[in-house]
C-alpha cells in the first residue's frame, strides 16, 4: 500500500455516479431523506437519527443482510461528521494493510487533529486475532470504526472490539418499502427516467423476489427493463423471464441455516402444520442438506412428541429412509410428510425432561454403587458376596413393583415422571 492512504478516499456522497454505472449504484442515496427502511434506527428520536445530528464519536458495527444500506449509511455518516473517510475491504486486504491504515490515521490526527472514519466492509472476514489490530487505535481515539457485516457479531467479532463499538441491527426492507424504491428508480433522472411502465402488482412481485434486498431489487428491475422497448410496459410474463428462478439468500453453515431450522422445529412443537410445511419448503428450496433435515426431524420425534405418540419416531426414521431410497424430488415429499405428522401428533417432552433431570443428578451426586439386590450373580463368589440377595422377580411377586427400590439409596425418593 503506497503513499498517502487518504489521497485514495472514496468519492464524496454528493458526487454524481457515472451514467453507465449499474442502476443500484446510480440510485444510491445521496442524503438521509433518500434512505428507505430502518425506521427503527432512523425514525424521529431513534439512535441512528440522533447520530446524524451530532459529531460521531463512537465506533459502530452495522449488522444486517445484503442490500439494506450498511455502506450507504457509513458514507452518509462520514459526510455528516466531516471526518476523513477511508473505505477498506476485508475481502481484498490483509493485516499488513490494516496496520498501515492505522498508522496513517494516527499520523494524520497528530498532524492535523482530524480523526479518521474507517469503514471496513465485511469485517467478519478478519479473524479475531486480526481484529485486535484495530483495538489500540480505537481506544486512543485515532479512528472511529464503522464495520459492516452480514454475520452475527456475537460469533464473528471478538469481545474486546464489541465492547468498544455499538452494534446496530439493520433489517431487510419490507415489500412496500421496496415498491417505493422501485417507483423512485423508474422516475428519477438518475434511474430509468420514465422510460418504462410497470404496474403496482408487477412491482410488488419484483419486490417479493428481492427478499428485502434493495440492491437485488434494483438489479432485477434493470434486468427486466432490458427486455422492454423504450416506453413499453413490463408485464408479468417479461418479469418471469427476467427473474428465472428465485434464489434464496442462504448460508448452509451460517446463522440463517440455524434460524430456519429453529423456525421449523418450533412450528412442529407448536403443532402448526402450515408453518412447518412453509419453513421446511424454504429450506429445501434454498438447497439445505436433506440428511441434516432428516436428522432434525428424528430429534423432534424424540424430544417433542416422545411418549405422546411413540410411533412418531418410527415415522421419522421411515421418512429418512424414504429420502435415501428415492432421492430428489420424490424423497422430499417424505420429509414434508414427516414434518406434518410430527406437527399434528400429540406432544410430550416427558422423556426429554426426565433425561435432563437424571443427568443433573448424575453430575451433582456421587456415583453410588449399584445396590446388591440389582446385581447379577453368575459365580459362587459373587453370590457369597451378596450379589442378587433380596431381588424380587416382579412377574411372580407383583408387590415388588412398589416395595423393591431400584434407585441408589440417596435418590430413593427421586421421581422423574409425574404419575
210 contacts: CB under 8 Å, gap ≥ 6: 67, 178, 216, 217, 220
Does residue 252 have a pLDDT over 80? no
User: What integer pLDDT is reported at residue 246 of this predicted model?
Assistant: 60
CA distance 141 to 351: 55
140 contacts: CB under 8 Å, gap ≥ 6: 106
The whole domain housing 122 covers 5-169
CA distance 257 to 382: 55
pLDDT, averaged across the chain: 87
Does residue 386 have a pLDDT over 90? yes
Residue 361 belongs to a domain: no
| One domain for residues 139 and 14 | yes
User: What integer pLDDT is reported at residue 11 of this predicted model?
Assistant: 39
Residue 186 belongs to a domain: yes
Question: Is 335 within 8 Å of 297 (Cβ atoms)?
Answer: yes
Q: SS3 for 84?
A: strand
Residue 222 belongs to a domain: yes
| One domain for residues 59 and 145 | yes
Residue 248 belongs to a domain: no
Question: What's the total number of domains in the chain?
Answer: 4
CA angle, corner 64, sides to 143 and 58, nearest 5? Answer: 25
- CATH code of residue 236: 1.10.8.60
| One domain for residues 317 and 400 | no
- CATH code of residue 330: 1.20.272.10
| One domain for residues 229 and 302 | no
| One domain for residues 295 and 179 | no
Give the pLDDT band of residue 107 (cuts 50, 70, 90).
Answer: confident
Q: Which of 40-54, 94-108, 118-132 has the lowest mean pLDDT?
A: 94-108
| One domain for residues 138 and 204 | no
Does residue 4 have a pLDDT over 50? no
Indicate the Cα dihedral angle 319, 322, 323, 329, nearest 10°: -110
Percent above pLDDT 70 for the chain: 93
User: What integer pLDDT is reported at residue 353 of this predicted model?
Assistant: 94
| One domain for residues 227 and 337 | no
**288 vs 252: which has the higher pLDDT:** 288
| One domain for residues 165 and 133 | yes
| One domain for residues 163 and 15 | yes
User: What integer pLDDT is reported at residue 401 of this predicted model?
Assistant: 92
Cell of 27: 440510485
Does residue 288 have a pLDDT over 90? no
| One domain for residues 260 and 326 | yes
The mean pLDDT of 269-294, rounded to a whole number, is 93
Question: Is 354 within 8 Å of 361 (Cβ atoms)?
Answer: no
User: What integer pLDDT is reported at residue 132 of this predicted model?
Assistant: 86
| Bridge partner residues of 9 (DSSP) | none
The mean pLDDT of 298-313, rounded to a whole number, is 96
End of a domain among 121, 137, 169?
A: 169
Residue 207: CB atoms within 10 Å? 25
Question: Is 280 within 8 Å of 331 (Cβ atoms)?
Answer: no
Question: Is 131 within 8 Å of 100 (Cβ atoms)?
Answer: no
Give the pLDDT band of residue 51 (cuts 50, 70, 90).
Answer: confident
End of a domain among 143, 169, 195?
A: 169
Residue 231: CB atoms within 10 Å? 9
DSSP one-letter code for 166: E
- CATH code of residue 138: 3.40.50.300
The mean pLDDT of 265-278, rounded to a whole number, is 97
Residue 90 belongs to a domain: yes
Cell of 171: 433489517
Residue 160 belongs to a domain: yes
Question: What global pTM score does this model have?
Answer: 0.68
User: What integer pLDDT is reported at residue 105 of this predicted model?
Assistant: 83
End of a domain among 169, 196, 229?
A: 169
| One domain for residues 20 and 158 | yes
| One domain for residues 13 and 103 | yes
Q: Residue 52 — left, alpha, or beta (φ > 0 → left; ψ -120 to 50 → alpha)? A: alpha
Span 406-415, pLDDT tens digits: 999 999 999 9
Span 201-248, pLDDT tens digits: 999 999 998 889 999 999 999 988 888 888 888 888 888 887 876 655
Cell of 358: 437424571
Amino acid at each position: 500500500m503506497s503513499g498517502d492512504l487518504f489521497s485514495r478516499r472514496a468519492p464524496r456522497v454528493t458526487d454524481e455516479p457515472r451514467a453507465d454505472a449499474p442502476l443500484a449504484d446510480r440510485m444510491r442515496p445521496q442524503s438521509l431523506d433518500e434512505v428507505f427502511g430502518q425506521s427503527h434506527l432512523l425514525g424521529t428520536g431513534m439512535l441512528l437519527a440522533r447520530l446524524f445530528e451530532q459529531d460521531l464519536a463512537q465506533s459502530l458495527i452495522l449488522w444486517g443482510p445484503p442490500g439494506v444500506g450498511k455502506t450507504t449509511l457509513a458514507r452518509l455518516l462520514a459526510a455528516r461528521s466531516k471526518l476523513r473517510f477511508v473505505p477498506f475491504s476485508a475481502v481484498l486486504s490483509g493485516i499488513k494493510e490494516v496496520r498501515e491504515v492505522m498508522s496513517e490515521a494516527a499520523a494524520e490526527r497528530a498532524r492535523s487533529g482530524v480523526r479518521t472514519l474507517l469503514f471496513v466492509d465485511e469485517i467478519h472476514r478478519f479473524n479475531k486475532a486480526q481484529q485486535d489490530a484495530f483495538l489500540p487505535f480505537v481506544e486512543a481515539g485515532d479512528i472511529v470504526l464503522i464495520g459492516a457485516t452480514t454475520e452475527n457479531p456475537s460469533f464473528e467479532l471478538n469481545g474486546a472490539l464489541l465492547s468498544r463499538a455499538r452494534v446496530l441491527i439493520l433489517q431487510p426492507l419490507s415489500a412496500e418499502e421496496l415498491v417505493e424504491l422501485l417507483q423512485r428508480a423508474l422516475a428519477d433522472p438518475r434511474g430509468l427516467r420514465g422510460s418504462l411502465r410497470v404496474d403496482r402488482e408487477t412491482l410488488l412481485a419484483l419486490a417479493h423476489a428481492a427478499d428485502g434486498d434493495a440492491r437485488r431489487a434494483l438489479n432485477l428491475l434493470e434486468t427486466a427493463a432490458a427486455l422492454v422497448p423504450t416506453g413499453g410496459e413490463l408485464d408479468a410474463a417479461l418479469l418471469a423471464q427476467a427473474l428465472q428462478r428465485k434464489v434464496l439468500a442462504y448460508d448452509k453453515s451460517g446463522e440463517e441455516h440455524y434460524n430456519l431450522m429453529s423456525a421449523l422445529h418450533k412450528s412442529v412443537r407448536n403443532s402448526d402444520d402450515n408453518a412447518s410445511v412453509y419453513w421446511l419448503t424454504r429450506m429445501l428450496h434454498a438447497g439445505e442438506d436433506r440428511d441434516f433435515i432428516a436428522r432434525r426431524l428424528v430429534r423432534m420425534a424424540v424430544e417433542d412428541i416422545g411418549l405422546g405418540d411413540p410411533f412418531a419416531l418410527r415415522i421419522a426414521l421411515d421418512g429418512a429412509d424414504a429420502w435415501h431410497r428415492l432421492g430428489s424430488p420424490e424423497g422430499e415429499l417424505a420429509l414434508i410428510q414427516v414434518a406434518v405428522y410430527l406437527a399434528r401428533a400429540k406432544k410430550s417432552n416427558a422423556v426429554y425432561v426426565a433425561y435432563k433431570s437424571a443427568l443433573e443428578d448424575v453430575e451433582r451426586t456421587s456415583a453410588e454403587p449399584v445396590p446388591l439386590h440389582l446385581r447379577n450373580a453368575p459365580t459362587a463368589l459373587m453370590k457369597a458376596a451378596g450379589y442378587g440377595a433380596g431381588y424380587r422377580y416382579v412377574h411372580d411377586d407383583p408387590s415388588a413393583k412398589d416395595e423393591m427400590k431400584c434407585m441408589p439409596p440417596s435418590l430413593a425418593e427421586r421421581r422423574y415422571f409425574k404419575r
